[in-house]
Amino acid sequence: MRPFRIAKANARRIPALGAAFFLALGLFAPAAHAADAPSAPAAKTADAKTANAANAANTANAAAPRAIPVPKSPDTPEDARPLASAPRTKASAPTAGSSVGAALTAKQLAAAACNVSAFTGNSGAALVQQVKSAGLDCVNTLFTLTGNNAKGAFNEAQMVTVADALRDASAAYPGDDSTSVGQLVLFLRAGYYVQWNNKDVVGPYGTALQTAVRGALDAFYAAPHSKDVTEANGATLAEAVTLIDSAQENARYTGVVKRLLDGYTRAWTGSMATAVANTETVIERGFDLPAFTAALQADPSFATSMAGFVTRNSSQLTGSDPVTSIGIQIGNLVANDALRAQGRPIVKDLINRYPLVGNTAPLTMNLLWFTEKKDGGNCSYYGTCDLPTRLVPLVLTVDHTCNANLRIRAQDMTAQQLTDTCTSLINQDAYFHKVVKDSGPVADDHNTSLEVVVFDDYYNYSLYAWEMYHIAVDNGGMYEEGKPDAAGNQARFIAHEASWLRPQFQIWNLNHEYTHYLDGRYDFYGDFDAGMTTPTVWWVEGLAEYISYSYRGVHYDDAVAQAGKGTYALSTLFDSTYDNADSTRIYNWGYLAVRYMLQSHPQDVDALLAKYRVGDWNGARALLKTTIGTAYDADFAGWLKACSADNCGSLPTNQAPLCTAADTRQYDRNCRRDNVAAPTGNYNYDFLFLPAGVKQLTITTSGGTGNADLYYNGGAWATTGSYLAKSTTGGNGETLTIANPPSGWVYFSLYAQQGFGGVTVTTTYN
């Protein structure tokens, strides 16, 4: 799938209310006895062929791969751990809400609501007294003020008054909130936040407030008890650390940050740990400020303090901990021209000191992102030039071959999950060919195999795939077709498990992406870019959606709902591109257009694919826009109305003709036998003769009663104990696709796991 992206360049510049406040509002909220084998025609001896191993996952394609991303699922869970793929644009917006203590419930917030007029209608000493007498929960609600209330509470004069009061109170700060220093700090934080979001109403902040807040912070950090390692002091200290960034005084207080990093030990828990964690914001956003860069240039020990903080506390690394978060900020040193010389040796040490997998992976992989994206061309210095090669066996510990055409590299899949995935894809292969009625791969296509890479979840996909395969990962997976005409090209689908569906196992968009592989190999001449020279998106994505949903027997709720809206004419959908269409038009409406054409005008689809398969893009375009044009628009509109009522129709049957050989066990290139039967524990033995050069043999079973399992054994009789491939799903819907089978007589059988009858068996090859 092609991505439907949301621009993120300024995403972090849109401040959100603090976690505490959002939480309060609930917004985060068989083996059986077998009959003797019958006599058979003389068979040519053929050795059993084992599936060839695919190229290593890190093998470079002959040409740079053309990647087709998959949209993320809206159900993809958030992960507290940082991602190397996350946007690196830093927000200048102040942090909102208190970061200390448990989040309030909605009921508690309502109870803590303040009389806003007590803040907007007072000034001077009366305002200071009101702030000091208010509870911290009350002050915390002021982050939500807007309009005239925002101006009345937080205009510059009001802020200067409270900053001066914080300066005076800090002189005798006792190390707890008995003198209401915490309320004064939190009020100032709320003011900066509200003014940032409502500048036109609150008015500007200038040098008067800058001078006052510097005096306040200077006094607080000079107070002896601000250095107390206690829960009481930590509660106020944590807010005061955040106030540094709110006021954009990051450069002035690098000494405070360094003191906290150097002093921190595992014994610092609760609010003291929060105070240290809050330095991450001061550091990260500081890199946007020239004065901060100048301060770090003048004091190289700041960089070593960050590094020491990480190495001393490395036992705490889990990915969602402050050590990881602060450690990642070291990467910003190599992203800064003036600080790169300081940062390089530190970053080099950290990425070579800690493992690339496990609890330390979020740190190492994020730092690696900085070395590659912000200090590119220096992998030899960092010792990371071979990193993709090293990562593959470390991360993808499962290596499973389905057949000569399919290989799975996975982070964590059980034997049953591997078997089920192979079966799903192999069976889908036959389903696809039945729909598109191809006669084999298009000319010059050497994508004979597909490698399916499966990460354990979206987080691991995002953490590793960008480096291992050099792809964008702000998506739900990526299909790399590469250059199919190049020898050694490896087609690859890089995917992840749909962790939100567990305990059910599912690889996100597996069948959709496998359709892209098949479509590119059997329907489209050349590579993906060649197929995009004219608008083909309606077919490319519509077919992938159609095959995925219909093959799996899943009702496409979203598409049926869209049908009822009648938004697009068929002729309009023929014009869809990735640039002029949103995800609804590309996927839902692409599905509807393809389904309609396959069902209502299959002869036109045949003609269209005949042109796609030889690269006649202009001819295909003329067929759609001139020959067909708007002729089907009215009929399509009527079909949509019926489809919206869940009467979308079904594909016309495409049965192969009956086999003509007198021996009922013998099959041919494209024929079927009906009413095949066998009692429980017995076999129905079959065979067919293959000429030299057959690329793919497909055997399918369908219909009837009981449970027939399908076995194939090349040049010898196939049994449950002697086979090269099998399909053993419940019921009689079995499919085997055999790549490059031997020439001569080949053998397959249906084993009666449960006595079966009325089964249809079809064989095709190309």
Q: Report all structural domains of the chain as residue ranges with CATH numbers, in order of start.
A: 1-29+91-249 (no CATH), 532-648 (1.10.390), 666-765 (2.60.120.380)
String of b and e for 25-41 (b: at least 16 CB within 10 Å)?
A: eeeeeeeeeeeeeeebe
Q: Answer yes or no: are the C-beta atoms of 640 and 563 closer than 8 Å.
A: yes
The residues, ordered by sequence, that sit 6+ positions from 698 with a Cβ below 8 Å of its Cβ are 429, 430, 433, 735, 736, 737, 738, 763, 764, 765
Q: Which of 38-52, 367-381, 458-472, 612-626 has the lowest mean pLDDT?
A: 38-52
Give the least confident one: 424-433, 525-534, 576-585. Answer: 424-433
More confident residue, 439 or 151: 151
The rounded mean pLDDT for the chain is: 86
Would you say residue 564 has pLDDT above 60?
yes
Given the structure tokens 């590309």, which residue do they identify? 586
- 190, 193, 196, 200 alpha-carbon torsion, rounded to 10°: -40
For the ranges 43-52, 543-552, 622-631, the lowest mean pLDDT is seen at 43-52
3-class secondary structure for 336-374? CCCCHHHHHHHHHHHHHHCCCCHHHHHHHHHHHHHHHHC
- E strands present in 450-505: 450-455, 477-480, 491-496
CA atoms of 418 and 464, how far apart (whole Å):
21
Q: How far apart are CA 507 and CA 461, in angstroms?
A: 12
Span of 80-94, 299-313, 680-694 with lowest mean pLDDT = 80-94
Asked if residue 61 has pLDDT above 50, the reply is no
Claim: this prediction has a pTM higher than 0.85: no
pLDDT of residue 91: 55
Residues facing 726 on adjacent strands: 711
**Is residue 263's pLDDT more than 50?**
yes
pLDDT band (50, 70, 90) for residue 92: low
Q: Which of 181-195, 271-285, 719-733 has the lowest mean pLDDT?
A: 719-733
CB 712 within 8 A of CB 699: yes
Instruction: Tell me the per-residue pLDDT of 429-443, one tens digit each, with 9 for 90 and over.
Output: 888 988 998 888 999
The torsion angle over the Cα atoms of residues 627, 631, 632 and 633, rounded to 10 degrees, is: 130
pLDDT of residue 423: 87
pLDDT bin (cut points 50, 70, 90) of residue 67 is: low
pLDDT at 501: 93
**pLDDT tens readout for residues 601-653:** 999 999 999 999 999 999 999 999 999 999 999 999 999 999 999 888 876 55
Angle at 584 between CA 578 and CA 589, to 5 degrees: 90
Lowest mean pLDDT among 6-15, 65-74, 133-142, 170-179: 6-15
Confidence of residue 704 (pLDDT cuts 50, 70, 90): confident
Alpha-carbon distance of 114 to 98, in angstroms, equals 16
C-alpha pair distances (Å), 242 with each of 95, 279, 282, 480, 602: 7, 7, 7, 44, 65
Render pLDDT for 502-534 as a digit per residue (tens, 0 to 9): 999 999 999 999 999 999 999 999 988 899 999
Q: DSSP string covering 236-300, please?
A: HHHHHHHHHHHTT-TTTTHHHHHHHHHH--TT--HHHHHHHHHHHHHHHHHTTSHHHHHHHHH-T
The rounded distance, in Å, linking the Cα atoms of 216 and 162 is: 9
pLDDT of residue 487: 86
